[in-house]
Amino acid sequence: MYRTIRLNNRSMTATDRPPVTTPPSPDFAAILRAERCRRGGLGRLLRQGFWGLLLAAILVASTRTAEVSLPELWAGLPRLSEWLTRFWPPDLSELPSFLAATWETLAIAIVGTGAAIAVAGPLAWLSARNTTPLPWLVPPLRGVLNLLRGIDTAIFALFFVSVVGLGPFAGVLGVAFHTTGSMAKLYAEVLETIPPEPVEAIDATGSDRLRTFAFAVLPEALPGLVGIGLYLWEFNVRSSVILGIVGAGGIGYELLVSLKLLDFSRLATILLLILGMVTLIDWLSAYLRRRLS
């Protein structure tokens, strides 16, 4: 029995001894990454809180500067409701003159937008980085375009009223100058997004810049250019209504007269004509853009 026990003990010490395991060493890199992530999340939360407080402060300051007063609005609602009851029925006695003024507003938008298209096309070609023959001209030219689109149409119209006198021609010039800046910038962005393969294929034939633009750039960019032109024409129809207020012709003058006289039946007729014109132009512009897409 003693031998058996020794053999068993020997066998146990030789083969059945449990392996010695050492505790895993800590992954200091993972700990450092987790700490950085925690600190980064806290810093991001603090930054978001700061910008949120700043935005709230700006909103409160703007509300006070704009003198927003809900009690005054509430006190004026009865007077507004009384005015709304005086809109009906519309006064149609001056409808022919109103239709002529509405057509004048539409004509201002058509001629002004057409003149802007004629000028914005070459300016976009010169200010697009992938088509311009004079790269040094791009920064100053884009600065001029930003200046034109930064000045509102009504400001331009008011300036040209003092130059050419009262009438729709001042409105046409105001629309043309403002729209040229916006349209040329948008046109240039469309030209810069066209794929380079067709241009490179035409260039490989030894074609000059003008032919490359006509046969490679223009066909690719034409749907986008036409869509922008239609959208800005639609916008100009709406903005041309305001031009009559500064003496640049159109239905806006009649609108201003009705407001000053508080002639709400007359005002209702004018507003219905403006609504019909804008709705028709919106539908036509959307239809043409769908056909081009």
The number of residues making up the chain comes to: 293
**Does 23 fall in a domain?**
no
The mean-pLDDT minimum among 3-17, 28-42, 74-88, 133-147 falls in: 3-17
Cis peptide before 223 (omega within 30 of 0): no
Q: Give helix 251-261 / helix 264-292 axis angle, nearest 10°.
A: 150
Which residues touch 40 (CB under 8 Å, ≥6 apart)? none
pLDDT at 84 > cutoff 50: yes
Other CB atoms within a 10 A radius of the CB of residue 72 amount to 9
State the pLDDT confidence band at 167, using cuts at 50, 70 and 90: confident
Q: What's the confidence (pLDDT) of residue 21?
A: 52
pLDDT at 280 > cutoff 90: no
**Does 232 fall in a domain?**
yes
% of the chain surpassing 70 pLDDT: 80
pLDDT at 237 > cutoff 70: yes
**Does 150 fall in a domain?**
yes
**Does 121 fall in a domain?**
yes
**Does 209 fall in a domain?**
yes
State the pLDDT confidence band at 33, using cuts at 50, 70 and 90: low
pLDDT at 181 > cutoff 80: yes
Q: What's the confidence (pLDDT) of residue 175?
A: 92
**Does 258 fall in a domain?**
yes
> What's the CATH code of the domain at 133?
1.10.3720.10
Q: Per residue, what are the HEC states of the chain?
A: CHHHHHHHHHHHHHHCCCCCCCCCCCCHHHHHHHHHHHHHHHHHHHHHHHHHHHHHHHHHHHHHHCCCCHHHHHHHHHHHHHHHHCCCCCCCCCHHHHHHHHHHHHHHHHHHHHHHHHHHHHHHHHHCCCCCCCHHHHHHHHHHHHHHHHCCHHHHHHHHHHHHCCCHHHHHHHHHHHHHHHHHHHHHHHHHCCCHHHHHHHHCCCCCHHHHHHHHHHHHHHHHHHHHHHHHHHHHHHHHHHHHHHCCCCHHHHHHHHHHHCCHHHHHHHHHHHHHHHHHHHHHHHHHHHHHC
Structure-model confidence comparison of residues 202 and 40, the more confident one: 202
State the pLDDT confidence band at 1, using cuts at 50, 70 and 90: very low
The total domain count for the chain is 1
pLDDT at 158 > cutoff 60: yes
Share the mean pLDDT of the chain.
Answer: 78
The residue segments making up the domain with residue 161 are: 90-292
**Does 52 fall in a domain?**
no
pLDDT at 260 > cutoff 50: yes
Q: What's the confidence (pLDDT) of residue 180?
A: 92
**Does 68 fall in a domain?**
no
